[in-house]
Each structure stands twice: as C-alpha cells, then as structure tokens.
Structure 1
Amino acid sequence: MTPRRRVLLLASTFPAASGDGTPEFVGDLAVELAKTMDVRVLVPAVPGAPLRTSYRGVEVERFRFFPRKWEDLADGAILENIRGKKVRALQIVPFFLSETFHIARAIRSFKPDVLHVFWIIPQGLSALIANRRIPVLITTLGGDLYALVDTPARSIVRAVVTRADHTTVMNDEMKGQVEGLGVDPSRVSVEPMGADLTGIVPHTVRDTTTFELLFVGRLVEKKGLRHLIAALARVEIDWHLTVIGDGPLEKDLRKLGDGLPIDFVGAKPKAELRAQYAKADMIVLPSVRAASGDQDGLPVVLLEALASGLPVIASNLPGIDSAIIHEQTGLLVEPGDDDALADAIARLANDRELRTRLSEAARGRAGEHGVDAVGRRYARLLESLVGQS
C-alpha cells in the first residue's frame, strides 16, 4: 500500500475558528487534501487564536512574531493591514524571521514530502529561505502577484516563482504574468480555489417591491463597494443593501452610504452567508483594480452565490469572466463604471424572467468549482511534484 504523502501547508489568512467570518478557502482545501494525505497547516498568530489547534480534523500550528498586544499584521489581509495602519510595517521583519524559523522547524519535525505555499510573499519567500530540498507548490490568489509584480519587489516575486516546482494561479492573465517572470509554461497552471458547496440553501426568485441586494467581501479598495454605493444612489427602484465584511475602509464607506438603506453587518460565518444567499434578490460584486495594482482573481463568494442560484452582477475582470458568462449565468459590467452598474441593477430588478433564467443557469455552472473537485485536482498535482523529486 502506498504511504500517505505529508503536506505542509503554509498560509497567512486562516480562520481562528471555523465559522468566525474569516475566509475559509485555505482551510476547506486542507480538509479535502487530508482525505488522502497527512496535512499540517502553519500560519501566523492572530488575536484570540490558540497556537495549536485542530481545524475540522486538520492539525494547525500558529507562530508568534511580535509582542501579543500589537501582533495583528495577519489579522485579515497583510497588505491592506499595512496600508490601513502604517505602523504595522514594524511587524514585517519579525514576521519574516519567525515564519522562516518555524517553517524550518516544521520541516524537521513533520518531515513533509511537499510544501503547499499560499501567497508568493510572504510565505513563498520564507519557504524559499527555509527550504532547499522539498518540492514546492506556490498558489497565488491574485493580490500578492497583481500588487507586487510591477514594483521593486518584482525581483523577489521572480525568485520565488522561478525556484518553485509549480505555481497555480486563478486566471489566464495571472498565468501570463508568471510566465513573463521567466517560468516555463508547463510549470504554471490555472486552478482557482474551490467553494465549499455543502449546506448551500437554494435561492428562490420572488416577486417583490423592495429588492434585497447583497455585497460580501473585505472593505478594501479592490472590492469596489464605493462604486456600488454610488450606483445605488442613482437607481430608481426601492432597494436595501446588506454589506457583509469588514476592513480598513469601513468608516469611509459608512460615511459614503450615510442616509441610504445600507446595513453594514460585519463578517459572518458560512451558515449566515448561506442564509443571506437565499434571502437576497441579487448579489453585486463590483471588483476593480486598486491603485496598488491589486485585484481579485476569482472570489470564492462568487462561486457560493452561483451555487445557491442567487442572480449575480459582477465586474468583467479576468477570472470572474471564467465563472460568469454574460447574460447566461450572470451580468458583467466594466469595472468602475457606476452608470453601467446602476443600469444592470435596475434591469435585473425589473426583469423577473431574467432573474429566473440566470438563477437556473448559475447552479449548474458552480459545480465544477466545488472544493471536493478542486481538492482532488490539487492532490494529484502535489502527488506529481513528489514523484518528480
């Protein structure tokens, strides 16, 4: 019988506890991989999280890197945390040193056959320093590549991806960027994260006079919420918007939406998200390219909404356009075009037949992105890297 492979999974965004509202795509994949492999997760400390725990049966270790009172660099998205509060930059060097040390220690104790590393920076860089002999799979979700590839950090990004055994990206545009750094095309593949589709509550299209709109995402520039608020201010329908998520721009966005029927409810766990997909009449994900160059790859929330059958309006960006076929499984608008976004919202609200057609088509589209199918593909890829070593 073939022994189970050992996978050391490195990430920076990971729930302190299942259902705490932190994106769970890394945890979901770890659970899927653990069905056929032995998986250990190494992630940074965040406020309120134990240093050793089990996440749905997967062993998780967190490393300390700064005095506990101020140790919040990885509580959310690292780049956005630094932009939101510059003093957090003081945590960067201790973070890298501690992460590199703990990766080396985990390699000695766990003896993994392969490293699965989420994000080129910081994890990819730390793994590059700590590891010289174990095969490495890098998975870039978008922000680390888009925001850094055209900055002075480009040389670091190139060093990480050219020395990795394989890199997975979220869309074809990202694949081209990685290849442009000198990586052989055979060592780069498009493999978006999967969505946990268990417990999805089917959406039912309804007749209504007040349309319930939903936005889910970090309150950061690339998610484009300010464009949605601007668009809604000119839409001539009765509407109510629920905003699920938190982030550094919350105060500014609340001010922008002052006086409008918008509820900011913070981050929510999976169960509440699924209830909202069933309750809303449409979800709007107006992603844009941030001034830093950062942009979405393929948001997992989009896949979850599609699986529920909730009609979707989203931005026409690489990755998103692979899940949304305009006029068939959702509506696409050009990023940052507030007028086009307003027109799409009004059109969808006023056309029940269109909402019904999009809802029915969306359910079938999401299945190929389920975390179980994605997990099997990643397991095969990791196994192949071990075989090449």
Structure 2
Amino acid sequence: MHPDPVARPTLLVAASTFPAEAGDGTPGFVLDLARALSSDHRVVVVAPMTKGAAKHQRIGDVEVRRYSYFPARWQDLADGAIVDNLRAAPARWLQVPFFFGAMALAFRREARRSRPDVALLHWIIPQGAVGKLVLGDLPRVVTTLGGDLYALRHPVLQRVKRAVIASAAAVTCMSTDMALELRKLGARDDQVHIVPMGVDLEPISRAVASETRTPGRLLFVGRLVEKKGATVLLDALDRVEHRPDEVVVVGDGPLRQALEARAADGVDFVGAQDKAALAAHYAKAGIAVYPSVPAANGDRDGLPVALLEAMTAGCAVVASAVPGIVDVVEDGVNGLLVAPGDADALAAAVDRLLADPALAERLGAGARATAAAYTVDAVGDRYRSLIADALAG
C-alpha cells in the first residue's frame, strides 16, 4: 500500500525520450525508473510529444504530460535520439528553438500545476539547461546518459553544462569515465554518482523461463547509429570462420537502410521491438554483441541498458572495451572484450564462443550474476536516496 499521497513529495521527471505506451519499443529506462520511484513519490513526467502518444495519460502510478513543439506534420525531432536525428536531417535544426521554447513553457506550466518538491532531469542538455532557467530554486538531480556529455563540445555548450552542473544537487552518470568528464566540467566529488539505468527484470525472467536458447543465434540490440557499431558487426560477419545459425538485429535509426543494403544474406533486421518481444530475443540468443565505437562527433556510449538486459538474460556477451562497458564486463569472467572498431577481433571472439558452448554458458552465468546489481529496483533505491538528499539539502 502506498503512503498517504498528500504526504508524498512530488517529483517532476523530464526527459527527451519517453515511450508513448509502456513497452512499445522506445527505450523505457526513464519510465521504468519513474514507476519504481512512484512507490513513495507522486511522479509527474514532462516529455515531448511523439507519434502515437497521448497528450495526457497515466501509466501505472505515473502521470505523463507531453508538450507539442512544432506543427504535427513535421514534428519529429524527439522521435529517437535528438543528436542523431539532427545529423540525419539537418533541416530538423528548424525545430530546435521551438523545442526549447515549448519545453520551457511546459516546465513552467507543470511547476505551477503540480508544485513539485524536487526534479529529476534526464540529460544535462536540453532538460537540465531548461530546468536551470525556469525552475528557480527547485532542487534538481540531473542525469547524463553520454551523448550530451561527450558530443556537445562547443565552448558555449560547455559553459551551459558547467552552469547546469554547478546548480544541481547531484549529477548521475553511467560510468567512471563519465564521472571524470563531469569533474572536468567543475562537478564536485560529492555531486557525482555513478548510477546506470536499471533493467526491468520481470519480462526477461518470464521470457527466459518460456523460451529455448539457441547457442548459434547471435543478437545485436541498439539504435542504428554510428556509436553502436553495427557496421563493425557486419564487417566481422564477413570474417568469421563459423557463421552463426541466425543473426538478428533489433533496433531502428538513420543508418538502417544503409546497413540492410550492406548486410549479407541471413542477417534479419527486425526493427524496434516492444518489451516482451525484445525479452524473447534475449532469451533465445546464445551470443549478444555490443561493438560500440566512438562516433565522429565525439558521441559514445555510457553503459548501454541493452547490454545489461542481455546479461540479465544470461547471454554470452561480446562487447567493445570502451569506458562504461569495461566497468561491468570483465574479459573471460562475464563476457569477452574486444578493441573498439576491430572487426577481426570481434569475428575471433564470436568464433571462439561458437566453437566452445561450455565457455559461452559459463560467461552467460557470470553475466547474469553481475547484472543482478542493475535491476530497476536496485537502481531505484539509489535514486531514492539522492532525491531524499536533494530535498533535505
């Protein structure tokens, strides 16, 4: 039973990426966290309008309020990752000032309507920056997931990030490398907390119990953008000695058409999947690959939630040895690590697992044990503590 709603503090959550419905295939880590925090907070989410979304709705105990920012026919800046959308279609820059303006109005409106006690703002830019401008003295916990920290390097944007960080009660990030980047921007040691996004355990556990794993089935899950390294995977598949029985690519994005044209026969691009279907893919896969690379614009992964999900399902993972991932994957213990961008090394790692099912099974068990610390409930407890400290401060 929830505490008396009157006694619960009101938490304003803001993000650029948010599902239209629970489990619809849009990355759901913000919703999962919001639902975890709703046990002892009144949670109100403010997010941009996306295709198929309702302007106002309730998902479980979470209130969701969306704002429009451009004529509906062209409004697509926030359908997926904003930085990648701008790279794919520079004309979308026309939407940016309207996006910021609409967000500021939505924050002001929601602050008056729900009178929040504290805010949790996902991404330093844009939500953290807009929140600093319009939310006054409201205590704020700011979360960076990588792209805003690594890719937005213009001196003006660096100054904006410094100002957002300086005014935050706490800043969370995905990895030790990101924590170092935050400190370079002036964050104090007591401000910075490494708290990756959590995994929704229930659908994965259900799928693992009902699906049969195929050792020769290889899975890639990620947005089809440069930093996820799908091109490296396709290069590696041309070099393996033992072709996997099946190769499934889950995800969508601006590179999908080019990747499908480049892929050999037998690579199945299935697009974005809802939560249940994605869990089934994890449960059926013997090997999951995460060949992350630094993008040309400096963007790179923090710690992919999809990697943690695959580990939770007990997949044998092969991943790039990049900051964030190396915080979780220990080579030969709970996965295999390869140099980023090295298709030969990736092919060799896949061959090794295909040739040694016992090794794959051992690594999968190690992955599952590691991932137990990254459930939504565990991560929610850490955010709950940070939010309480922000309120007390």
Is 1:192 aligned to residue 192 of structure 2? no
Is 1:341 aligned to residue 346 of structure 2? yes
Is 1:159 aligned to residue 169 of structure 2? no
Is 1:312 aligned to residue 346 of structure 2? no
Question: What residue in structure 2 maps to residue 362 of structure 1?
Answer: 367
Cα displacement (A) at 1:150: 5.9
Aligned match of 1:371 in 370, 376, 383?
A: 376
Aligned match of 1:213 in 218, 233, 236?
A: 218
Say if 1:22 and 1:151 are closer, same or farther in 2 by CA, change over 3 A: farther
Question: What residue in structure 1 maps to residue 32 of structure 2?
Answer: 28
Cα displacement (A) at 1:206: 6.4
* Larger deviation, residues 247-256 vs 217-226: 247-256
Aligned match of 2:59 in 55, 58, 73?
A: 55
**Which letter maps to 2:143?**
T
Is 1:173 aligned to residue 177 of structure 2? yes
- Whether the aligned pair in 2 keeps the contact of 1:205 and 1:356 (CA below 8 Å) is no
Rounded Cα–Cα distance in structure 2 between residues aligned with 1:343 and 1:205: 25
* Larger deviation, residues 230-239 vs 5-14: 230-239
Is 1:17 aligned to residue 56 of structure 2? no
Aligned match of 1:275 in 268, 277, 280?
A: 280
Cα displacement (A) at 1:56: 2.6
Cα displacement (A) at 1:276: 0.9
Structure 1, residues 64-100: CA drift from partner, whole Å, max 9, x if none? 1111111111000011111111111100000101101
Question: What residue in structure 2 maps to residue 296 of structure 1?
Answer: 301
What pairs up with 1:134-149 in 2 under 5 angstroms? 134-149=138-153
Cα displacement (A) at 1:384: 0.8
- Whether the aligned pair in 2 keeps the contact of 1:96 and 1:122 (CA below 8 Å) is yes
Q: What SS does the aligned partner of 1:157 have?
A: helix
Rounded Cα–Cα distance in structure 2 between residues aligned with 1:360 and 1:216: 20
Q: What SS does the aligned partner of 1:341 have?
A: helix
Rounded Cα–Cα distance in structure 1 between residues aligned with 2:155 and 2:243: 44
Question: What residue in structure 2 maps to residue 41 of structure 1?
Answer: 45
Structure 1, residues 84-121: CA drift from partner, whole Å, max 9, x if none? 11111100000101101110111111111101000011
Rounded Cα–Cα distance in structure 1 between residues aligned with 2:20 and 2:213: 37
Question: What residue in structure 2 maps to residue 262 of structure 1?
Answer: 267
Rounded Cα–Cα distance in structure 1 between residues aligned with 2:156 and 2:214: 53
Cα displacement (A) at 1:152: 4.4
**Which letter maps to 1:251?**
Q
- Whether the aligned pair in 1 keeps the contact of 2:237 and 2:243 (CA below 8 Å) is no
Q: What SS does the aligned partner of 1:153 have?
A: helix
Question: What residue in structure 1 maps to residue 253 of structure 2?
Answer: 247
Q: What SS does the aligned partner of 2:353 have?
A: helix
- Whether the aligned pair in 2 keeps the contact of 1:170 and 1:192 (CA below 8 Å) is yes
- Whether the aligned pair in 1 keeps the contact of 2:198 and 2:375 (CA below 8 Å) is yes
Rounded Cα–Cα distance in structure 1 between residues aligned with 2:346 and 2:212: 21
Runs of 5+ unmatched residues, structure 1: none
**Which letter maps to 2:326?**
D
Rounded Cα–Cα distance in structure 1 between residues aligned with 2:251 and 2:203: 20
What TM-score comes out, normalization by structure 2 length? 0.95
Say if 1:244 and 1:206 are closer, same or farther in 2 by CA, change over 3 A: closer
Is 1:84 aligned to residue 88 of structure 2? yes
Cα displacement (A) at 1:149: 3.8
Say if 1:266 and 1:206 are closer, same or farther in 2 by CA, change over 3 A: closer
Rounded Cα–Cα distance in structure 2 between residues aligned with 1:236 and 1:123: 47
Rounded Cα–Cα distance in structure 1 between residues aligned with 2:189 and 2:196: 17
Q: What SS does the aligned partner of 1:71 have?
A: coil
Rounded Cα–Cα distance in structure 1 between residues aligned with 2:213 and 2:108: 55
**Which letter maps to 1:148?**
L
- Whether the aligned pair in 2 keeps the contact of 1:6 and 1:39 (CA below 8 Å) is yes
Q: What SS does the aligned partner of 2:319 have?
A: strand
What TM-score comes out, normalization by structure 1 length? 0.96
Cα displacement (A) at 1:43: 0.1
Cα displacement (A) at 1:199: 2.5
* Larger deviation, residues 162-171 vs 28-37: 162-171
What pairs up with 1:321-336 in 2 under 5 angstroms? 321-336=326-341
Question: What residue in structure 2 maps to residue 131 of structure 1?
Answer: 135
- Whether the aligned pair in 2 keeps the contact of 1:205 and 1:355 (CA below 8 Å) is no
Is 1:66 aligned to residue 58 of structure 2? no
Rounded Cα–Cα distance in structure 1 between residues aligned with 2:305 and 2:191: 24
Question: What residue in structure 2 maps to residue 115 of structure 1?
Answer: 119
Cα displacement (A) at 1:352: 1.2
Q: Number of aligned pairs?
A: 385
- Whether the aligned pair in 1 keeps the contact of 2:212 and 2:284 (CA below 8 Å) is no
**Which letter maps to 1:294?**
D
